[in-house]
Amino acid sequence: MPEHGRITLTALKWVPPFAAGQVRDHRVRWMLNEIGWDYEVELIDPATQASGAYLAEQPFGQVPVLRETGRPALFETGAIVLDLAERSGRLWPADRDARALVRSWVIAALNSVEPWLSAVAEVDFFTRDETLRDLRRPGAVAAARARLGKLSAALGDRPCLVADEFTAADLMMASVLRVAGHADLLGAHPNLSAYRERCLARPAFRKAVADQCRDIAAHGPEDMGWDPAIFAGTATR
């Protein structure tokens, strides 16, 4: 196993219940669990996110940031996952051409699939005006289903996206497909539903989500400097 420095991952202290287990640091936790590298988690709040020191590491103030002694801080989950895969050799094919395809699929998951699924989630969870939500949702759902149809055709009856083995591409794509979990967007594509379930059955994923949810459950909106009343009822939205 390649050597590595002390690793610290940033994550949010708290998010509304519908987002618990979905915040993007779970992707890096999952990858680190697959690799078997120990790491620590620094839970942060909006004040830290807005600080100059944090913005110097993550220009957009988001989570996660991966800090490792002796290396620059990394941001963006796709970049972090690919870096960890390449350095560890885990979830990373031996064949050079297969590795190139893994990179393509990681970027595709983030650029060509996630935005369409996130648009549906944005309408469902963050659009408070019911009239506006009713107007926007059909178009967002149709666009997401069209994109998922293309993904379904590309996957076909293969168990994984590249080389018939679970790779960083599948980790990222399965994580992205979770964004559709609250809505019946995969119902027309049994191969995608089965693919997602296979990937999410991995112990490394289950531990990543459980650890994130545990951290969030130990805090509340007041730890983020937010009024708890604002988030009343968000668990069922």
Does 114 lie in the same domain as 82?
Answer: no
The answer to whether residue 150 is domain-embedded is yes
Mean pLDDT, range 1-20, rounded to an integer: 93
Task: Flag whether pLDDT at 237 surpasses 60.
Answer: no
CB 16 within 8 A of CB 23: no
CATH code (residue 197): 1.20.1050.10
Helices (H), the chain: 25-35, 46-49, 52-57, 77-88, 96-108, 114-126, 130-155, 168-177, 190-200, 203-217
Task: Flag whether pLDDT at 236 surpasses 50.
Answer: no
CB 198 within 8 A of CB 189: no
Does 106 lie in the same domain as 39?
Answer: no
Does 51 lie in the same domain as 79?
Answer: yes
Does 172 lie in the same domain as 182?
Answer: yes
Phi/psi of residue 42, each to 5°? -105, 115
β pairing state of 40-44 and 7-12: parallel
Percentage of the chain lying above the pLDDT 90 cut: 83
Does 71 lie in the same domain as 114?
Answer: no
Q: How do residues 76-119 score in pLDDT, each as one tens digit?
A: 999 999 999 999 999 999 999 999 999 999 999 999 999 999 99
Task: Flag whether pLDDT at 180 surpasses 80.
Answer: no
Q: Is 168 strand, coil or helix?
A: helix
The answer to whether residue 2 is domain-embedded is no
The answer to whether residue 142 is domain-embedded is yes
Percentage of the chain lying above the pLDDT 70 cut: 97
Q: How confident is the model at residue 235 (pLDDT cuts 50, 70, 90)?
A: very low
How many residues are present in the chain?
A: 237
The answer to whether residue 53 is domain-embedded is yes
Number of structural domains in the chain: 2
The answer to whether residue 1 is domain-embedded is no
Query: Domain range holding 51?
Result: 7-91+204-236
Does 131 lie in the same domain as 211?
Answer: no
Does 140 lie in the same domain as 223?
Answer: no
Task: Flag whether pLDDT at 126 surpasses 90.
Answer: no
Does 84 lie in the same domain as 21?
Answer: yes
The answer to whether residue 57 is domain-embedded is yes
Average pLDDT taken over every residue of the chain = 94
Does 198 lie in the same domain as 107?
Answer: yes
The answer to whether residue 114 is domain-embedded is yes
The answer to whether residue 115 is domain-embedded is yes
Does 213 lie in the same domain as 137?
Answer: no
Mean pLDDT, range 143-158, rounded to an integer: 97
pLDDT of residue 232: 65
The four Cα atoms 237, 17, 45, 231 give a dihedral, to 10 degrees, of: 40
Does 151 lie in the same domain as 114?
Answer: yes
One DSSP character per residue, 187-231 reads TT-HHHHHHHHHHHTSHHHHHHHHHHHHHHHT--GGGGT--GGGG
CATH code (residue 209): 3.40.30.10
Does 129 lie in the same domain as 79?
Answer: no
